[in-house]
Structure 1
């Protein structure tokens, strides 16, 4: 049931242009609209077109949600026309140009902002939209940070900010992360996104993001309290209690159409996919998907495929489109892989309807890169994980799943992957390791406790989002906090709000 008297509230949402960021932001928009808040999502034309069918269904249901787009200046910054998302960027040089394009959105956004009705109450923006801090100061409204990571990762990032002991540690030597409730060890290489003191241009962006984070009124997080209770508590201490865990946001997608279309149009007919899964035994299928922006060498992709084949289990293998697509397709044909695994293996080229697949009773294990969205979607589906982190915060997510929650088995990757130079890591994991990891999760012996714990956390996730659950209540507390801010601003009749 929606809270009452929200017709005056208007939340503006600005997602970062990466699948792992804009998908949960759209889910957040839907949930806010269900609470009676008027919501406007501002993004780029390519992302808007991906979500238009879902948003249109929400609008048709009578909820106050709208989707507006700003032209992304791809050509002006040296990118190809239509390059508007991170998964279309394939080098560090192009990445810098991409962020310059994001900076150029500030002026048209502010021009659009002045026309929005009703008057915006707050702005929820991804932390990578660094100029948002300037905009909210100009218009005198609170800025809420949306972060696509969990509380463990955010607390770790905060603690590492002023931690200097790691400077005498080698790149490959594990060290204990400071100030955490549990003993967690990682290497400097695995924490590169937090410790890297990069080129002046990138450092300037990092500094702007940090400044915007420090100025934000609070943080909305796609997690739930029961999953990482001690890390939620500790991070709230850091942020003065202005932390609202409102996830798992993906659970707002109830019907198969929303599940199938989340993030992008699937490159397989959802009915064909469901029909294949219906033919498999319950909890027998391994679903292997290593993310939308992960690059593996051809040699590593082949080892992954042969490991799935050697497991003797039915599997769904998602092969992302990109530079390696033609090479792996050639291998599949020449090696006879698809023919040998016909009936037991389903190959999806491109975008997969991941939530639809994971929520099917036939799926018994999820081989994942440990991106936070994927990890959380695995938790929601009560599916144990086979973890294969690559870069970013993924090694921390693996620690959460394998060490703290005990709902997964690691393939043992220690080396950090290279997103823009995958051939530097020809082969990290061989086929026998893949086969053994699948067996560990799926077998009757060692895998039983892992599967049981996965079921427990899956139930916790669903209860958190139900009426009276922790995330349900946090969403309402968040909205009520914004109401108080707006009321205070109206009562004081000041031109702006400080510390937002």
Structure 2
């Protein structure tokens, strides 16, 4: 007879989009589910699975890494299985290949009979398949609630009913935001964004993918917490009419790997140890961002003009010829050799940010990077490039956790003088004390492991209690009773 412990054990499938900015948060969530004693099948393509960080030995029996071969299409290189492997203008072809995983994933779900599947925005076809198989469905957004709310309801996305029809319309907060907000795009940002979300070679727009993923879910999971954006989480619930369940920020730990005493960290830490406390600018623009040659040059010359010590993680993206062609300004490394490092291979970002010598973080404002910077209290020097990065920058500029490095409002061009002035303002000038102080204050939320553990505990409880089909809309318990009555709904699976 099945024991009580066995009967409470779930099988959860986790299926992220093919971008490491998505894959890693999904993996973190999978590991936390496995820590609760549940069996997890984490699904991606072979090369992406190989590139994952090593799993802790205690989780290996519970967390299965499942490889589904990515269908080949001519427009992407043979070994390209993630967005970091292709130029930005080829990502839409990767989505076309991704849609080809439908048959193999369906076969896996039919034979493994999981209780839940946690999925990303891209597989618009997945909710219907899982529903037919009786599998509970959780959509997991790695984005925060203000970014998710900015684009409106899932119904609006699917049917193309947004009243905003031109880029200029997105440079002010949307009309459905009922509270003061500065969350909006710069004109150059939204022009770039428009180019990435319109209907494309896959035949399906990103709007439709996201909307379908949300409409088809039983619960909407989000990498966020009420301590940061309670108003936005409430708004998301009203917009999507789905249970919204924050899972916390999933802050990463500074993990010590088997090669802990390796040459990489030994070399980096030796240099950092020689620098003054909170004096170093750490520069890292993520694995997806490919700055133009002009942007790269202006950023480099701005670092030089600032006169400040810096560590620049400038990792080249393998297989992308256009990235390999980028060049630092003539003589830049020689002129800055006494106070700066340009690191062109993998860098242990968490360990660098945790080092006492780091005083500021030049970031593209990917949500994971912002979380990592603020969990160590590092003020942000924000240089957004793609997607929702501009919206994230608006919020943390308003919260005074850092400043945006100014760009030209029309074309987004960057100037070395603006870079240098911004760096000095945040790192050394009296004017920057407010940013340094506020970033340290935010560490109390972003770095609070106990707080985020409580969110995971509630999430795990929800998965367990909801396995038989009842859908309870999670509401904020301290809302006024009239509003809470409107938000708390009981739904039943068909």
Q: TM-score, normalised by structure 1?
A: 0.83
* 1:407 pairs with 2:401: yes
Q: CA–CA distance in 2 between the matches of 1:291 and 1:95?
A: 16
Within 5 A, what are the aligned runs for 1:290-309?
290-309=285-304
* 1:176 alignment partner in structure 2: 173
* Per-residue CA distance 1:272-294 (angstroms, 9 max, x = gap): 22222122111111011122122
- Of 270, 273, 278, the residue aligned with 1:275 is 270
* 1:230 pairs with 2:224: no
* 1:473 pairs with 2:454: yes
* 2:189 alignment partner in structure 1: 190
* 2:464 alignment partner in structure 1: 483
* 1:492 alignment partner in structure 2: none
* 1:142 pairs with 2:136: yes
Q: Is the 8 A contact 1:172 1:188 kept in 2?
A: no
Q: CA offset at residue 107 of structure 1?
A: 0.8
Q: CA–CA distance in 2 between the matches of 1:20 and 1:97?
A: 18
* 1:80 pairs with 2:81: no
**Distance change >3 Å, CA 91–CA 453, structure 1 → 2:** closer
Within 5 A, what are the aligned runs for 1:435-446?
435-446=420-431
* 2:127 alignment partner in structure 1: 133
Q: CA–CA distance in 1 between the matches of 2:75 and 2:236?
A: 39
Aligned positions, number:
460
Q: CA–CA distance in 2 between the matches of 1:202 and 1:79?
A: 13
| CA RMSD of superposed structures (Å) | 3.1
Q: Is the 8 A contact 1:166 1:188 kept in 2?
A: no
* 1:246 pairs with 2:243: no
Within 5 A, what are the aligned runs for 1:31-42?
31-42=32-43
What secondary structure does 2:149 align onto? helix
Structure with greater contact order relative to length (CA < 8 Å, sep ≥ 6): 1
* Per-residue CA distance 1:426-484 (angstroms, 9 max, x = gap): x8111111100001111241111111111111111222x31xx2x32332222222222
* Per-residue CA distance 1:8-57 (angstroms, 9 max, x = gap): 21111011111211111111111111222211101111111111x522xx
Q: CA–CA distance in 2 between the matches of 1:199 and 1:163?
A: 15
What secondary structure does 1:256 align onto? coil
Q: Is the 8 A contact 1:192 1:392 kept in 2?
A: no
Show structure 2 runs of 5+ residues with no match: 471-490
Q: Is the 8 A contact 1:370 1:395 kept in 2?
A: yes
Q: CA–CA distance in 2 between the matches of 1:80 and 1:257?
A: 31
* 1:221 alignment partner in structure 2: 222
Show structure 1 runs of 5+ residues with no match: 261-265, 417-424, 490-496
Q: CA–CA distance in 1 between the matches of 2:138 and 2:59?
A: 27
Q: Is the 8 A contact 1:166 1:175 kept in 2?
A: no
Within 5 A, what are the aligned runs for 1:306-455?
306-321=301-316, 322-329=320-327, 331=328, 335-403=330-398, 405-413=399-407, 428-455=413-440
Q: Is the 8 A contact 1:42 1:67 kept in 2?
A: yes
Q: CA–CA distance in 1 between the matches of 2:54 and 2:216?
A: 33
Q: CA offset at residue 192 of structure 1?
A: 5.2
